[in-house]
Structure 1
Amino acid sequence: MNRPGIHYYFWMNSDWAYLGADRLEAIARQQGVPIHYKPVDLPQVYARTGGVLLGQRSPERQAYRITELQRWCRKLDLHVNPTPRFMCPDATLASLLVIAINQAGLPVRDLYKAILRAQWCEDQNIADPVLLAGILQAHQLDADYWLEQAPLMQAQYQAHTEEAIAAGVFGSPSYVYQGELFWGQDRLDMLDQAITGHPAPA
């Protein structure tokens, strides 16, 4: 994690990552710093850092999550369905695809946002290889090739997860800049300020 820039740890099931995606990109562009995209296995992160998966939380916490999502959707003028038809399915294949394409040096910004949007805005099952193939094709990517490459990224997926935990990450999205952790899309302004105060070396 010694490369300069924003180390972006996120779950491919994260509604909050979707809400923060465009603002993160804008900050990185304006500040002239790269984003290092690192999908993580959030259930594993939770299991090792004391987190609780949404379905296991109290009704009060689940209800407040919906309230907060609605507030942020109004604030950002974005749409998210708090309870989509396919909510938080197995995100492994989607994560491995993003990692494989990123490792190849290809842009993943629009791809990972399209996968998040499919779940949280379009009621699609992002665990379905057929759906993911369609998203790949819509982004001019060879679906057969990348679906074959994805399983080879399992070790890198675990490495991202281990790196996140070592950096203090316990939720998604999380951003680490020069060793400082910012959890949640509601901390993006603070991330922006940190970059302004401590610009990355050229």
Structure 2
Amino acid sequence: MKTIDYYFWMNSDWAYLGADRLEALAARQQAAIRHLPVDLPDVYARTGGVLLGRRSPERQAYRVAELARWCRKLGIHVNPQPAFMCPDAGLASRIVIAADRAGLPVPALYKAILKAEWCDEQDISDLAALRGILERLGLDAPALLAAAAQPAIESAYRRNTDDAVKAGVFGSPAYVYRGEVFWGQDRLEMLEEAIAAPDAR
């Protein structure tokens, strides 16, 4: 089975922009996606990355310009500077991992959480906000929140982060296919080319 290891941060605006296209790509190529939320600040600390608020004004300005370009191209709205920008994503990540282990629809869930931050001005570190998202999706909020608090889910979150670094991942979103890293939603076309290529390359 063709499998894409999808490492992403639950605060990643770029992951939100690429989410639907990744799902469509996987469907076209009959590939499975392993949804693997990571602690990106930890990844950055171990790979030389710089959190957005610590970047130079020039880099921050370019991010806003690039987001605007991609939003126009894709017809997707993202607020580049939402009211609650990049809060602690730990609980949101653990909820997604718990949902995945329970066999629930992870794409709908993680996209709803990203949308809440980047489009709906919600604080995704807030328990009430996350509970509301789960309820709107028709999911069992008490059960998922209880599962997300279990040590095994925290261990899985840490393992995702460790595995991302071991795989060569240094940012979000990152897609790993057969050991090759594709960083950024603007590399989805190249990812699909790699998946579609014959085995004997």
Q: What is aligned with 1:39?
A: 37
8 Å contact from structure 2 (residues 2, 30) kept in 1: no
Q: CA RMSD in A?
A: 1.0
**Displacement of 1:104:** 1.5
- 1:91-130 Cα offsets, whole Å, 9 max, x none, are 0000000000101222211010000000000110000110
- 1:62-88 Cα offsets, whole Å, 9 max, x none, are 000000000000000100000000000
- How is 1:82-161 mapped onto 2 (pairs within 5 angstroms)? 82-152=80-150, 153-161=153-161
**Residues in 2 aligned to 1:192 and 1:89: alpha-carbon distance in whole angstroms:** 32
- 1:124-163 Cα offsets, whole Å, 9 max, x none, are 0000110111111111111111111102210000000000
Runs of 4+ in structure 1 off by over 4 angstroms are none
Q: What is aligned with 1:59?
A: 57
Q: Structure 1 pair 156/198, CA: closer, same or farther in 2 (3 Å)?
A: farther
Where structure 2 has 5 or more consecutive residues not aligned to the other structure, the ranges are none
Q: What is aligned with 1:176?
A: 176
**Residues in 2 aligned to 1:138 and 1:121: alpha-carbon distance in whole angstroms:** 16
8 Å contact from structure 2 (residues 71, 77) kept in 1: yes
Give the TM-score of the pair, scaled to structure 1: 0.96
**Residues in 1 aligned to 2:101 and 2:141: alpha-carbon distance in whole angstroms:** 16
- Equivalent position amino acid for 2:169 in 1: V
Q: Structure 1 pair 198/15, CA: closer, same or farther in 2 (3 Å)?
A: farther
Q: What is aligned with 2:162?
A: 162
- Equivalent position amino acid for 1:187 in 2: R
Where structure 1 has 5 or more consecutive residues not aligned to the other structure, the ranges are none
Q: What is aligned with 2:24?
A: 26
Q: What is aligned with 2:189?
A: 189
Give the TM-score of the pair, scaled to structure 2: 0.96
**Residues in 2 aligned to 1:7 and 1:101: alpha-carbon distance in whole angstroms:** 17
Identity %, equivalent residues: 63
